Structures are given as C-alpha cells and as structure tokens.
Structure 1
Amino acid sequence: MQRMGWVIGIDPQHIAEYKRLHAAVWPAVLQRIHQSQLRNYSIFLREPENLLFGYWEYHGQDFDADMAAIAADAQTQRWWALCGPCQRPLQTRGPGEHWAAMESVFHID
C-alpha cells in the first residue's frame, strides 16, 4: 500500500459548487476509483488560501495503468468536466500533473 497526497488550488467562486458536487459523487465514478485500487480517498479544503488537499491509499500493482483506466472512463471524464473549471492547478506542479503530488515526510499508525 502506498499513501499519496495531492494539492491544487480552487477558485473561491466555485467552492460551493465543488462541495455540492462532492456531497453526491456519481456511483460510476466511485466504482471506477475502487476498481483502480484507491482506498481511503479524502479531499480537504483550506480557506482562505483556497487549497484542496487530496489523500488516498493505493493498493494496486501498476499505478500508471490504474490511473490511465480512470482517465479513460467516460463517466469520470464527464465528472472532471464539471470539477475541472473549479480548480486552479499550481504553477509549480510537475509535468503532466493536474493536482500536484506531495512528498510524504511523516506517518504514524
């Protein structure tokens, strides 16, 4: 299992919409996330900085293939079309990243 954290900005005008969307995530999107071996997926909001922090635990063997399966899913693409305009990717994100990956520096069970 691999713990992963991600960060992205959010347009303050879209915070209410983003919360509304995530209060009722489509079952097909949730199923695809589960099929791609993501568990304990959470998104946190930090205001007034307007940052979203995402966390999940990856339980698969081929992260790139599982993420490609999510990206290829038609329902997920529709979901992203709604959520994407709410987000503001960080200028410092890595190549090919929408959400910027974070380094794990501490963990305790």
Structure 2
Amino acid sequence: MKRYGSVIKVVPNKLEEYKRLHAAVWPEVLDRIYKCNIRNYSIYYRDGYLFSYYEYIGEDYQEDMEKMAKDPKTQEWWKYTDPCQQKIESATKDEWWASMEEVFHVD
C-alpha cells in the first residue's frame, strides 16, 4: 500500500458546486475508483485549496490511473468537476492535481 497526497486550487465561485457534486458522487465513479485499487479516499478544503489523500493497494499505479482516465463515466464526471478546479502554480505540465511529498507518517 502506498499513500498519495495531492493539492489543487478550487475556483472561488465554484466551491459550493464542488461540494454539492461530492455530496452525491455517482456510483459508477465510486466503483471505478475502487476497481482502480484506491482506498481510504478523502478530499479536504482550506483557504482556496483542495487536498486529497488516498491509499493505493494495486501493483501498477500508472496502468490503473490510465484505466480510470479512459472510463467514459469518469470522463463525464470530470466534465463537471474540472471546471471547479485550477492547477497550482508549481504543478508540472502533466499534473492536474499536484503531487505532494510525504514528510511524516505514523500508524
């Protein structure tokens, strides 16, 4: 299992829409997340930023993320959620949510 943290900005006038969408995530999207070996997934908000945390239990992260990105229902979901988000300045050109470095963990 590997832990992942990432960050993105929320478009200021889109926060309530983003919260509304995530109050009723489509079952197909949740199923795809599960099938792509993601567990214990949370998204937090603070001062204009969204922070996500999840645990990956699979063997091939890149392959699972490609499967998720190719899923038609997930692509449709992203058409609603992506306009609520804005990349942070330090994100690479290939990142939407910017990866974060884990600096501490304790079980």
TM tier, smaller: over 0.9
- Using the alignment, how far apart are the partners of 1:71 and 1:88 within structure 2? 18
Alpha-carbon deviation of 1:30? 0.2
- Using the alignment, how far apart are the partners of 2:19 and 2:100 within structure 1? 23
One-letter identity of the residue aligned with 2:30: L
Deviations 1:43-102 (A, max 9, x none): 0000xx200000000000000000000000000000000000000111211231100000
| 1:54-69 alignment, distance < 5 Å | 54-69=52-67
Partner of 1:8: 8
Q: Which moved more, 1:93-102 or 1:30-39?
A: 93-102
> Percent sequence identity over matched residues?
50
Q: Which runs of 5+ in 1 are unaligned?
A: none
TM-score by length of 1: 0.96
Kindly tell me the number of residue pairs found equivalent between the two proteins. 107
| 1:42 aligned onto 2:42 | yes
One-letter identity of the residue aligned with 1:82: Y
Q: Which runs of 5+ in 2 are unaligned?
A: none
- Using the alignment, how far apart are the partners of 2:104 and 2:40 within structure 1? 18
Partner of 2:74: 76
| 1:85 aligned onto 2:45 | no
Give the SS at the match of 2:50.
Answer: strand
Task: Pick one of 92, 100, 105 that aligns with 2:103.
Answer: 105
Greater than 3 Å deviation, 4+ residue runs: none
TM-score by length of 2: 0.98
One-letter identity of the residue aligned with 2:96: H
- Using the alignment, how far apart are the partners of 1:94 and 1:15 within structure 2? 24
- Using the alignment, how far apart are the partners of 2:58 and 2:5 within structure 1? 16
* RMSD of Structure 2 on Structure 1 (CA): 0.6
